[in-house]
Amino acid sequence: MTFENLNIILPIREALTKKGYINPTPIQEKSIPFILDGKDVFGCAQTGTGKTAAFALPILQLFHAKQLAKKTPGIKALILAPTRELAIQIGESFTDYGTNINVKHTVIFGGVSQGNQTRALQQGVDILIATPGRLMDLMNQGFIKLHTIEFFVLDEVDRMLDMGFIRDIQRIITKLPIKRQTVFFSATVPPEIKKLANGLLQNPVSVQVAAISAPAEAVKQSMYYVEKQDKKELLKMVLEKENINHALVFMRTKHGANKLVKELVKYGISAEAIHGNKSQSARQKALEGFKNRTIKLLVATDIASRGIDVDKLTHVINYELPEVAETYIHRIGRTGRAGEGGTAISFCASEEKAYWKDILKLVGNVVITETTPKFTTVRPAEAPEPERKRNFGNNRRFSGKRKF
């Protein structure tokens, strides 16, 4: 399958070729024809499967075919994203894919002065990429009207709901024309997502390219049993043992991310933190440094990580396990993209063993190597009852000693 087979027009195909994109991903292959046909789409695909192009390419093509930019003034397409990083990434994708298409777009998000954003809006915009909070703010100030919208995209819906944007989304929807085309993408589909989709989409086509919450197949996964106080030492050991020169490290809290970065810098390891308390300029500086590999480790919280799209990222390290098992899928989806291999390494302390059990239930029959490093011991109080024979299936391998 090629983009030409999907009836993508030559100007867009030329832009894709320039980016090195020849063949569509499964989510693109299944979604693009329906979006080009004017259908509402409910898409479920894990992080890193190419969802942005799945809606950006057909929207750009429909703009070109219908000459929407030359019709009445006003915003014709609205794309909502949960984080600044993801909104910026989507904007960059529209720039890349639409280089040969006469369409104006802009990105708005909070955490920065609104001056440049409002000036861009006043000059005229065809496609608006926005985070919900800043969009609501500028709507309330009268800078944005949504009555001319023809395309509405909700991306990473599950994360938006996790971040508490449901009321903003509901208010935004009331300002949209009833007659519109809507595309809805989520990596997971809990009941509240289904409820929102049922009230938003008209006779939608459902597109799913992988089992819900399935881990990326190209990602090699391993886990170390380690006490909390030994994690820094283990991280140093893993970096040296695996010869890791570029990795995204996950923490649960902003404070923990800052603290770990300070320790890493003391060890002589270049590292930066990225989380919600950082200014937008600091976040962008850290992300750019990580992308161009002047920074070895980027230490991120889960919310800030949405939108981090780094080519050929080889390693993700779960320094702290997530409390919600589905978040593990989002994390490891940062690597193993676009057919490349990747490695996900997790550290599990005694107090995190319940989180790991939930993750194992979620990922199913995936090969995960479990190990206890020689320099660490698990507290005796956390030792399990005498081990009973457990059947993990033929596809999961365990190595090392089980301490829990």
Q: What is the pLDDT of residue 214?
A: 56
Q: What is the pLDDT of residue 389?
A: 38
Q: What is the pLDDT of residue 150?
A: 95
pTM, full prediction: 0.66
Q: What is the pLDDT of residue 175?
A: 95
d(CA 59, CA 45): 19
Q: What is the pLDDT of residue 281?
A: 75
Q: What is the pLDDT of residue 8?
A: 95
Q: What is the pLDDT of residue 315?
A: 94
Q: What is the pLDDT of residue 224?
A: 94
Question: Of 328, 28, 34, 42, nearest to 157 (Cα)?
Answer: 42
Residue with tokens 């998000």: 109
Cβ atoms of 157 and 193 within 8 Å: the answer is yes
Cβ atoms of 343 and 242 within 8 Å: the answer is yes
pLDDT < 50 regions, the chain: 212, 378-404
Domains within the chain, CATH numbers bracketed = 10-208 (3.40.50.300), 219-382 (3.40.50.300)
Q: What is the pLDDT of residue 280?
A: 67
Q: What is the pLDDT of residue 4?
A: 92
Cβ atoms of 282 and 84 within 8 Å: the answer is no
Pairing of strands 247-250, 315-318: parallel
> Which ranges constitute the DSSP H helices of 39-114?
51-66, 84-97
d(CA 49, CA 339): 10
